[in-house]
Structure 1
Amino acid sequence: MNAVEIEEAVSDLVLQPFDAAEFPFQFLAAFGNKATTIKRLRSGSTNQSDVDGGVLQRNNIHIAVAPAGEVGETLAALRASPKTASAKAKFLLATDGETVEAEDLVGGDVIACDYAELPQNFAMFLPLAGISTVKEIKNNPIDVKATGRLNKLYVELLKDNPGWATEDKRRELNQFMARLIFCFFAEDTGIFRENQFTATITQMSHAGHGSGEGQWGNTHEVLTELFRAMDTPVTHEGNLDPRYRQAANIRPYADVFPYVNGGLFTGAFDAPRFSRTARAYLLRAGELDWREINPDIFGSMIQAVAEDDERGELGMHYTSVPNILKVLNPLFLDDLREQLEAAGDSKQKLRNLRKRLGNIRVFDPACGSGNFLVIAYKEMRAIEAQIVERLGGEANLKLAERRSVIPLSNFYGIEIKGFAAEIARLALLIAEFQADCLYLSQQEARAMVLPLHKTGQITVGNALRLDWLQVCPPVVAQVVEEQDLAGPTGRMVLEENGTGEGAAVETYICGNPPFKGARKQSAQQKEDLRGIFGGGNEYKDADYVIGWYLKANKFSIAVPSDFAFVSTNSIAQGDQVSILWSRLYAAGKSIAFAHTSFPWANSALHNAGVHCVIVGVNSGNSSKRTIFSDEEKRVVESISPYLLPGAETYVTSSNMPLAVDLPKMISGNMARDDGQLILDDAEKEELVSADGRARPLVRRLLGTRELVQGSNRWCLWIDDDQLSVANSIPEVRARIERVAAFRSASKALTTQAYARIPHKFAQRCHRATMAIAVPKNTPPNRTHITPTFVSSSEIVTDLAFVIYGAEPWLMAILCSKLHEVWAKTVSGGLGSGLRYSASISYHTFPAPKLTEQDKADLTRTAENILLAREAHFPATIADLYDPEAMPDDLRRAHEENDEVLERIYIGRRFRNDTERLENLFDLYTKMTANAVPRGKGAKKGKAAR
């Protein structure tokens, strides 16, 4: 369930007669618990409560229904319950059907309210449904409630008006919905008279009845007339004048509404028809109190109303304000605050800073419903308010001096979805009005808001296809006559582009572009990247977000600007680093600040496994560079593209090891056989039991799953001199024939060629020696890479890497902490896990020249690790390396191994992973500077600067 559905379910629950016995189960069902889960709790098999009438769901919530008037005492009993602690309950809730008290044991929030008010506090419990929350949605459930009602209305209108689902009409419907939102907001904030819009619809429209045209009533006609009035001026040459309304023949009930326009009501369209149900949804939306709407949160939630492919995730489409500020603060807001602090009470410095605020442009080329732009605007207004206060405060300043110098026209965006763009424009208008109310007064804000003036400059289109210089053009100084855009008390325009005369214009690019890995992009998205790269094939391996970095880089050459984007952490791993930074370094760019990898927590349900970084880029002119990690802030001289302190060096893949002592690693054997040469346990036993001659043809097969989970697979491994025997065994011959048919039918020419050897794996690298096999993937919760020795008869598949003829000391390096942190940093990842690569993870690993004593010491520690593993047979690698259950002797063996290897590097243990990586990158830089290629195609890492 999503947040909107949960809010509706809780609202329905409190409307029903209170049932003390059923309430705990009804409450859990409202948060998406399955019927089977509820059944087990009801039966007592999973209910661990030790409180009378209690229901305890492990890792979630402890609920109890209290005797009348004893809610506080019951909550105290839940809090004191030993089972609450042992079952790791996150929430407590007690109610007697009249009042409710609840506590968030993790976040510390508490609730004490009437039972009927429980829906207003539902957001605190959203983690029960796997939905992480932010402060804004907890404190303001109106956002979710409004989104839910508008969603129902939107779906009903599309059902009643199928013609409006076309591309052209959908745009009109989106603008129609934006107008409704504005009117609901206006009638609750004093822009219109209180309840004016909803009351007019209630009084002047009637619901449909019967069939045919009569079923639609006249709601659409009333709305059309109201919007027509809002698009028709009420003044002429600055004076009130009814001539335009009279010429338009505006009906009396609509004529009482003010002129709004400002683009939102320009060219009013016909309204869609309203069924009786749709009209009811419309009026229910109007019943809400829209005064406290958060444009930064509400905007992105309401975006989902209009998107068919996103409506199922309604309520989850917001970027938390703390995450937005991780981008905006170091990009430019922190500098503004520092300048404010430095200005003190100097009137001249304060006026200069205020002038600077009016000349800052913020550009989000993936703006969605405007979250980044709205937060940037609100934070800038807060800084401006402090300036005004220091200049003498409202009481000592003229109104013109108190009005904001920050124009909405300085906020630019690109959004591919029309409704999101419409909401972004509206969200900025709402944010401006709310800021005026906060920093000026309600009366002055109302006087200035109508007619609507120019809002944010949001362009609808594909950001990777559009010319950003057309969207956010360079500033050209020009003299523009002052214009009154908002009536007799309106604000004045300084220049056509919104910037003040004579001041330097600053442009900052920011945002949260789409997350799409190189292998998950559509053909259209690949074409987007191909056009940006302008040649070559590297675009095929690039994450989609790289397109935004490259477009921002190109834009910043024409319009000096810094930029920062939220990206998946893959942007700082593996091949993505060289793809991106070979281009940005060539353009003279550097990393000004970075947030290292953190989980993206809008919704654990929607974004499970997504880990993000934030990279801020400038032209190398920063006097200080900053790395943020968790709550830590570190100022450094330079930041590497792996988001570490250090040189601007990136690692490139290599076909041969950089370190002279390390042997080559290769991918295992690839069958490409349609499964015909591979056997499970049952198939293997059936084959060798039917004909004993098949036994020498069968080998154990090992890929990542077998190496880690200990499961069994087998394969037919047939040498040329065994082919006649193989063909004499009917089942083996049939499998060989099916392989030949499969390969011959392939569209790939290489696969067709392998049809000549259907008895063999397509790609064979096996050598009859002992080998070390390394899994290709390491899950997020594992703290070690887990290489394994395999025998000369075992076949390693292409789902693992293999080093044939490897000596034991190499095992010590491969499973070390040093190698793990290097591989996790330079390799592509799976969330916070590791996607291992021979060419990136291993061949680039910087290791010093080893002495014979070094190898002997490492051989001993490797053998100790292997002996510790063997002592716990038949435990699998997955069992042994579970962080919560790793045996102590195995843990000690790894600790000793790490100490021996790290002393080879620096004579002592490293203090932490940061020191490990700094040392490794320093060694890598030195080694690549002097490296002699060891094989054809070997590549050196590059220092871009």
Structure 2
Amino acid sequence: MNLSTEEIEQRVQAFIYEWKDYDGKEIAESQTFWNELFNVFGKQRKTLVSYEESIKKMTGNKGRIDVFWPGELLAEQKGPGVKLDETVMQQALGYVEMLPDSEKPKKIVLCNFQEFKIIALASGEVKEFRLEEFGKYYREFLFIAGYSDYITYQEEEISLQAAELLAKLYTSIEKGDNKPSLELNYFMVRLLYCFFADHTELFSQSTIVHPFHNYLEKYSNSDGRDLHSHIRDIFEVLNTPKEQRDARLNDDLKSFPYVNGELFSDTSYRLYGNKEIRDTLLEVAKFNWSEISPAIFGTLFQSITNPRTREIRGEHYTSETNILKALKPLFLHRLEAEYETIKDNRRELEHFIEKLSSITVLDPACGSGNFLVVAYRELRQLELNALQYLHKDKKERHLLRESIHAEIKVNVNQFYGIEIEQLPSKIAQLALWLTDHQMNMQASSTFGFNYTRLPLTASATIYNDNALTLDWNAVIPASELNYIVGNPPFLGYANKDSSLEGKELLALQKKDKALVFANWKNVGTLDYVACWYKKSVDMMKLNPKITCALVSTNSITQGVQVFPLWYPLITEYGLHIHFAHRTFKWFNEAKGKAQVHCVVIGFGLFEVETKHLWDYELGKDEKDQPTEIVTERRSSLKINPYLVFDNEMIMVKQRSSPLDPSMPNMFLGSIARDGTSEKDATGKKKVDQGFFFTAEEKEAFLAKEPEAKKYFRQVLGADEFLNAKERYCLWLADANPVELAKLPEVVKRVNRVEQFRLASKRASTRKLADRSRYFGEIRQPTTDYLLIPRVSSEHRVYSPIGYVNKDVIITDSAISLEHATPYIFGVLSSRMHQVWLANVAGRMKSDFRYSNTLVYNTFPFPHEPTAKAQEKVEKLALQMLAIRQSYLEQGVTLAQLYNKESFRLYSDLVKVHRELDKAVEACYRKESFDEETNMERISFLFSQYQHYTDTLFAGN
């Protein structure tokens, strides 16, 4: 029979304690080490694994595999202190190559007694951890105990199970005459504490295993009608010091500890129980809650709250992976490096521990406390590492037992939060207490004796208030604050929600923005998250040593939002960006994962010597690792608001005409304003009412009125252009009204357009009713033109553009460029322009949003390229058009041609595009650009933009 995970956990802690100070030789104890590791999972090593297995290398020499379990595991064991580097990795992989397929392992383990590196050969995933972290990573070895891959208890799967159980309990309570309310949610918070405590030794003073579950099972009636009184009794006991408890309490109740912290002070909620509620509650209580990280408690409660409300508010619960993208470069990396530098100096190590206990962190949009929980856990882990090193001499351990409460200094009262919703603010405080207990358990296993902090005497300061109307300096004085970090709401300025609640929230947020950005100009386009940047900088003005890292939508680093937000922050406040994660796909622990594209920006009011950027390849898997780009120490390079290195803090501002005056102007397509996009009461589009027709609708119309044929024109917008869709319109701008009057079907359409315009709430649209045979806004080119889609997918290698006949009507989902030479077409089709688009344009979700004023008019075309260079671009551009046309004639659409997944299949098109890219780049400069990254290209283009603007200003 397999060991339970609880038994394994106990053995894991004993294993850690036994081996944490081992500093001997590899050969002497490696086999004992692995024997005991297998025993942790209830298996005898000799029945599964061989040591020093002989194998013949490709060189002909013989090697020996340290630990070998055919088909499952191959381990390379090194001595203490030996680095588990690429050499060790290649040694293990070399052995794998020599094995027959039937014996190739699923996992490789590299180990030096104190460190582990696990490689899953199927996925290539690598996990690294230290021995003292084995309690967090033992699941990677559960296959030894006989658990299948399906039930290896990955954190996400466990979290999902817990969330579903919690939702099941909430649903059963709702069905049992218990109305949803804030009081019910608080009741659920208290239950969650009990579930967690029941499985993590918080109730360890009890002589019963899982006392909460067993008490309710033992004392409550099977029909569940008395469930409330028993839960109330437990809550009251948890809130009462032992010396003040009623002496008549039964022994099971007396055994519960005193918790304090006011968590159980309110027992007024009345639960109407029944059999289903009781059965579900016992099922949930029996679940192993010790596997759940308090950092995802918010996600658990997300499963029982209204998802629509969550979407409106812009709340997205953050995964630990994303939290650490902010915390590590903000302060954890620096503290870890400091620890490694000073750990052998006892006095400095003591000062380091004091320093950890003085760090303060504010999350001004803390939600359920995810950021605070992870930050607290990491500081406690650093403190634990330092204390362990400080007391590495076992002779001093008995002294630590006496002083442990004084020596463990990092506490939850170093953490501050602001949260507008009541329930998440309660969860945040609870999550920090439970994290504290988890870290106390880790300290207990590390030092070999029990350490707890019950009753609770310290707590985080969580304000239930609107962070944008609250003075942060009143939450924690700026003079006492070190770091601001968090994940503010993601609601965009263009977000529209027609519900009453949505309108009320938008009105509130508009009011908040007006308050935060009082006296600022052009802030109407800013996303709501921008308010937290301004408020953070306000705190920094009071204490310039404060630094901040915020997770945000990438929209504040793109498009029209850049200039109004960042220009004043940089020029007036003196803000410097210290590090950033460029656009990446959001993922979290929730079942319905939020599909958002984010950035992480770390900043302060002082410059730093070295700056870091992490760049992600768009369109890749959301969990792909980024490329880190670092400036040299004391480099003059800065990170600008587009999250790009450049020498100047360049911000691109919209222009009404091109930077290069020799370039033609670009215009939006025509807008019909004919009601075609209107929907009926069921949400379906209304038909037969405006100027537009599908191919089938056109034929049906002409069957009734064939004389109208000469008034039909083909229509192209972004969708039709990219996906080769047929669409037509009635174009009556040049029609003779006398002739039109003889066409009743056409007149019907004109009348419907008139009625639509007259019914509009917009005065400008109503004015158009007098001209109802015309499009509302006509911007049709008079010559053949280039068509540029206004929105193009991030999943395309290039954003396709193309030449269109002047008789084809262009709609406002596209932009036209007349008098575009093949040279201009070639430049706009190149990688250089694509890079500019990707960094400067706004986004619609993750797709590029092309703008004539912000992308084309600001684009720095090559400055005075030679005639020969231009000719080469023209030649390749025409060649590319010809190749592309051949595929279009075979039924392949532009969207399919340029999709990143299929582009490589069209090798001739790929080849000509690559040549065109190089030809365009040669128009800019002689030196070639880095092929692997676009960072050099965008930095160069920013410098060219600066050159153009300097020239323009000088000319003025």
TM-score where L is the length of structure 2: 0.75
Q: Distance in 1 between matches of 2:369 and 2:241?
A: 29
In structure 1, give the amino acid aligned to 2:924: Y
- Aligned counterpart for 1:551 among listed residues 532, 535, 556: 535
1:220 alignment counterpart:
228
2:557 alignment counterpart:
572
> Is residue 639 from structure 1 mapped to residue 639 from structure 2 by the alignment?
yes
Post-superposition Cα deviations, 1:717-737, rounded to whole Å, max 9, x if no partner, equal 223552221222111111111
> Is residue 820 from structure 1 mapped to residue 834 from structure 2 by the alignment?
yes
- Aligned counterpart for 2:877 among listed residues 844, 859, 862: 862
> Is residue 626 from structure 1 mapped to residue 640 from structure 2 by the alignment?
no
Could you say what secondary structure the match of 2:737 adopts? helix
- Aligned counterpart for 1:308 among listed residues 306, 309, 313: 306
> Is residue 121 from structure 1 mapped to residue 152 from structure 2 by the alignment?
yes
Post-superposition Cα deviations, 1:252-271, rounded to whole Å, max 9, x if no partner, equal 75344332212212233344
> Are the structure 2 counterparts of residues 448 and 173 from structure 1 closer, same or farther at C-alpha, using a change threshold of 3 Å?
closer
More deviation, 647-656/284-293: 284-293
Confirm or deny: 8 A CA contact 2:356 2:410 kept in the other structure: yes
> Could you tell me how far 1:402 is from its partner in structure 2?
5.7
> Could you tell me how far 1:317 is from its partner in structure 2?
7.8
> Are the structure 2 counterparts of residues 536 and 74 from structure 1 closer, same or farther at C-alpha, using a change threshold of 3 Å?
closer
Confirm or deny: 8 A CA contact 1:828 1:834 kept in the other structure: yes
> Could you tell me how far 1:690 is from its partner in structure 2?
4.6
1:201 alignment counterpart:
216
> Are the structure 2 counterparts of residues 347 and 287 from structure 1 closer, same or farther at C-alpha, using a change threshold of 3 Å?
same
- Aligned counterpart for 2:812 among listed residues 798, 802, 822: 798
> Could you tell me how far 1:775 is from its partner in structure 2?
0.8
> Could you tell me how far 1:761 is from its partner in structure 2?
0.6
> Are the structure 2 counterparts of residues 858 and 474 from structure 1 closer, same or farther at C-alpha, using a change threshold of 3 Å?
closer
In structure 1, give the amino acid aligned to 2:872: D
Could you say what secondary structure the match of 2:781 adopts? coil
> Are the structure 2 counterparts of residues 664 and 933 from structure 1 closer, same or farther at C-alpha, using a change threshold of 3 Å?
farther
Confirm or deny: 8 A CA contact 2:585 2:595 kept in the other structure: yes
Confirm or deny: 8 A CA contact 1:366 1:512 kept in the other structure: yes
> Is residue 911 from structure 1 mapped to residue 930 from structure 2 by the alignment?
yes
Equivalence map 1:467-482=2 (5 Å): 467-474=471-478
- Aligned counterpart for 2:123 among listed residues 95, 103, 106: 106
Post-superposition Cα deviations, 1:7-30, rounded to whole Å, max 9, x if no partner, equal xxxxxxxxxxxxxxxxxxxxxxxx
> Could you tell me how far 1:390 is from its partner in structure 2?
3.7
Q: Distance in 1 between matches of 2:341 and 2:145?
A: 49
1:513 alignment counterpart:
488
Q: Distance in 1 between matches of 2:954 and 2:71?
A: 75
> Could you tell me how far 1:537 is from its partner in structure 2?
7.6
In structure 2, give the amino acid aligned to 1:224: R
Could you say what secondary structure the match of 2:482 adopts? strand
In structure 2, give the amino acid aligned to 1:231: N
> Are the structure 2 counterparts of residues 633 and 920 from structure 1 closer, same or farther at C-alpha, using a change threshold of 3 Å?
closer
- Aligned counterpart for 2:237 among listed residues 229, 237, 251: 229
1:593 alignment counterpart:
579
More deviation, 466-475/859-868: 466-475
Confirm or deny: 8 A CA contact 2:319 2:589 kept in the other structure: no
> Could you tell me how far 1:192 is from its partner in structure 2?
3.8
> Is residue 416 from structure 1 mapped to residue 420 from structure 2 by the alignment?
yes
Q: Unpaired segments of 5 or more residues in structure 1?
A: 1-71, 76-84, 92-102, 124-135, 209-215, 236-241, 476-504, 935-939, 941-945
Q: Distance in 2 between matches of 1:830 and 1:856?
A: 36
> Are the structure 2 counterparts of residues 598 and 391 from structure 1 closer, same or farther at C-alpha, using a change threshold of 3 Å?
same
The CA RMSD over aligned residues, in Å, is 3.4
> Are the structure 2 counterparts of residues 839 and 769 from structure 1 closer, same or farther at C-alpha, using a change threshold of 3 Å?
same
> Could you tell me how far 1:575 is from its partner in structure 2?
1.5
> Is residue 878 from structure 1 mapped to residue 878 from structure 2 by the alignment?
no
1:677 alignment counterpart:
691
In structure 2, give the amino acid aligned to 1:302: L
Q: Distance in 2 between matches of 1:74 and 1:441?
A: 30
1:756 alignment counterpart:
770
1:153 alignment counterpart:
169
2:603 alignment counterpart:
617
- Aligned counterpart for 1:534 among listed residues 518, 525, 529: 518
> Are the structure 2 counterparts of residues 252 and 273 from structure 1 closer, same or farther at C-alpha, using a change threshold of 3 Å?
farther
> Are the structure 2 counterparts of residues 924 and 732 from structure 1 closer, same or farther at C-alpha, using a change threshold of 3 Å?
same
Equivalence map 1:259-270=2 (5 Å): 259-270=258-269
Post-superposition Cα deviations, 1:397-440, rounded to whole Å, max 9, x if no partner, equal 45157632112111112233433322222221122122222224
Q: Distance in 2 between matches of 1:182 and 1:687?
A: 69
Post-superposition Cα deviations, 1:606-647, rounded to whole Å, max 9, x if no partner, equal 347533221101112312211123142412531111111112
Equivalence map 1:765-804=2 (5 Å): 765-804=779-818
> Could you tell me how far 1:777 is from its partner in structure 2?
1.4
Q: Distance in 1 between matches of 2:233 and 2:789?
A: 68
Identity %: 30
In structure 2, give the amino acid aligned to 1:621: E
In structure 1, give the amino acid aligned to 2:175: K
Equivalence map 1:280-359=2 (5 Å): 280-297=279-296, 299-309=297-307, 319-359=318-358
1:41 alignment counterpart:
none
Confirm or deny: 8 A CA contact 2:186 2:423 kept in the other structure: no
> Could you tell me how far 1:920 is from its partner in structure 2?
0.3
Number of residue pairs matched? 777
Could you say what secondary structure the match of 2:639 adopts? coil
Confirm or deny: 8 A CA contact 1:220 1:273 kept in the other structure: yes
> Is residue 896 from structure 1 mapped to residue 910 from structure 2 by the alignment?
no
Confirm or deny: 8 A CA contact 1:668 1:800 kept in the other structure: yes
TM-score where L is the length of structure 1: 0.76
Q: Distance in 1 between matches of 2:565 and 2:520?
A: 14
2:462 alignment counterpart:
458
In structure 2, give the amino acid aligned to 1:152: K
> Could you tell me how far 1:832 is from its partner in structure 2?
4.3
Q: Distance in 2 between matches of 1:224 and 1:604?
A: 31
Q: Distance in 2 between matches of 1:895 and 1:292?
A: 51
> Could you tell me how far 1:845 is from its partner in structure 2?
0.2
> Could you tell me how far 1:151 is from its partner in structure 2?
2.5
Q: Distance in 2 between matches of 1:880 and 1:137?
A: 37
In structure 2, give the amino acid aligned to 1:552: S
> Could you tell me how far 1:179 is from its partner in structure 2?
4.4
> Could you tell me how far 1:232 is from its partner in structure 2?
2.1
Q: Unpaired segments of 5 or more residues in structure 2?
A: 1-69, 74-100, 108-119, 126-139, 497-501, 616-625, 677-689
Q: Distance in 1 between matches of 2:365 and 2:342?
A: 34
2:381 alignment counterpart:
382
Confirm or deny: 8 A CA contact 2:788 2:816 kept in the other structure: yes
Q: Distance in 2 between matches of 1:702 and 1:642?
A: 32
> Are the structure 2 counterparts of residues 171 and 373 from structure 1 closer, same or farther at C-alpha, using a change threshold of 3 Å?
same
In structure 1, give the amino acid aligned to 2:748: A
Q: Distance in 2 between matches of 1:230 and 1:189?
A: 10
- Aligned counterpart for 1:924 among listed residues 941, 945, 949: 945
> Are the structure 2 counterparts of residues 759 and 571 from structure 1 closer, same or farther at C-alpha, using a change threshold of 3 Å?
same
1:173 alignment counterpart:
187
Q: Distance in 2 between matches of 1:631 and 1:684?
A: 52
In structure 1, give the amino acid aligned to 2:945: Y
Confirm or deny: 8 A CA contact 1:437 1:445 kept in the other structure: no
Could you say what secondary structure the match of 1:931 adopts? helix
> Could you tell me how far 1:157 is from its partner in structure 2?
1.7
Post-superposition Cα deviations, 1:189-233, rounded to whole Å, max 9, x if no partner, equal 62544332222222222133xxxxxxx521111111221122222
In structure 1, give the amino acid aligned to 2:461: Q
> Could you tell me how far 1:808 is from its partner in structure 2?
2.4
Q: Distance in 2 between matches of 1:186 and 1:266?
A: 22
